[in-house]
Structure 1
């Protein structure tokens, strides 16, 4: 932008230097001021648009996802991990959780996150990471929780995709939208029913989920060797 301003000034000054007519000089001078004003207005508008960048909050998240899910025709997401890939199908009648997962996938949130909690013969949990990029991505999307939706009749069978609740100031078991877990227990972990929200299931690649569940873990059930979600993509 600065280079354009300098170029414009240079051309006009050269023209003025060779022009003896005062009225022409005045007219050109006014055009320069007008051009500078337009440039300033564009810069100002860009700055305002950046400041007004949309962020999800606990006040607007439900309305946002209610509108987002209206025209949502897709319901499958493929997750490619450092240990292989698997595909999940999302339940259509759990709209907020489905919309949230699709939205975050399209935003690229899950790319580069990890399966940060692995409990043998129980679950693998993903969507977090021990780096600086993940909390930065969360800040750019917003801070919000989702209400539980446990009355659709879905149980925590083996392969079920469910959403953990936030552990901070959360008496109503609101769901932490950036994370998810997959049940590995055979035939299932039914003590979770009514507490957490199943919103999908693994339909391909369950052997990869089992493989992740067998990794060696340390304190806090975090794998000794990070298991990355390299790419999450909506299957259109």
Structure 2
């Protein structure tokens, strides 16, 4: 017959194992929720008023232009702050690239950019943002749509130092259409004019180029992705 002390020890071990298992299960469920649940966002106009990604209007290519033209008339702000771990820089959006300006404002107000990082740094050339490997970024893109923005390059806005321009996808993009999600800031002191015509400039940094330069100095891996993630908090000011 086992002693009472032995039985008490055995019960204590069994209870401890159960608590550890329960704790592990709870942690596993919490991690699963973090990966799968939809993030909440503020959505500004055109009927997109609920804090739910499922309420975002999914855009198709054929409906893109009238939608963005209408959105641009209803949302005419032109000053945007981009907060980073290195400080804040401010950009002014140009009015002429109507589609690019409207698209950037919309994504900023949806707070899409807040899920992204500066994912490419090519020292003394560009820093590029608007992408990440986060689930939230993937969810946003899936909700917003699969489309390209027609090229709106204007000779009035060449790729000078400090301008903000739209990135584009692979070389087979013969129309030079823009990615709706990714943008870059030119950090080449004497400009990057070989990009003229291929990319659409839609704004410029009017304050905080020292912050941009700090990001431009970051160490990267072989794919130009910074070793330290630099997130952003994009706020439309006026």
Same fold judged by TM-score > 0.5?
yes
Q: CA deviation at 1:170?
A: 1.9
Match 1:56 to one of 56, 59, 62: 59
2:199 equivalent to 1:183: no
Partner of 1:158: 161
Report if the CA contact (8 A) 2:78-2:92 is conserved. yes
User: Can you list the C-alpha shifts for 1:35-54, whole angstroms capped at 9, x where unaligned?
Assistant: xxxxxxxxxxxxxxx98863
- Greater C-alpha radius of gyration: 1
Q: CA deviation at 1:60?
A: 1.1
Q: CA deviation at 1:152?
A: 4.3
Report if the CA contact (8 A) 2:81-2:88 is conserved. yes
TM-score by length of 1: 0.75
State the number of aligned residues: 186
Report if the CA contact (8 A) 2:115-2:134 is conserved. no
Q: What root-mean-square deviation, in Å, do the aligned CA atoms of Structure 1 and Structure 2 show?
A: 1.7
Report if the CA contact (8 A) 2:54-2:143 is conserved. no
Match 1:234 to one of 209, 220, 236: 236
2:197 equivalent to 1:194: yes
Q: CA deviation at 1:87?
A: 0.5
User: Can you list the C-alpha shifts for 1:72-99, whole angstroms capped at 9, x where unaligned?
Assistant: 3310110111221101000011111000
Partner of 2:119: 116
- Unaligned segments of structure 1, at least 5 residues: 1-49
2:144 equivalent to 1:141: yes
Partner of 2:209: 206
1:81-92 residue pairs with structure 2 within 5 A? Answer: 81-92=84-95
User: Can you list the C-alpha shifts for 1:189-216, whole angstroms capped at 9, x where unaligned?
Assistant: 1111111100000001000000000000
- Unaligned segments of structure 2, at least 5 residues: 1-52
In structure 2, distance between residues paired with 1:74 and 1:178: 19
In structure 2, distance between residues paired with 1:217 and 1:53: 34
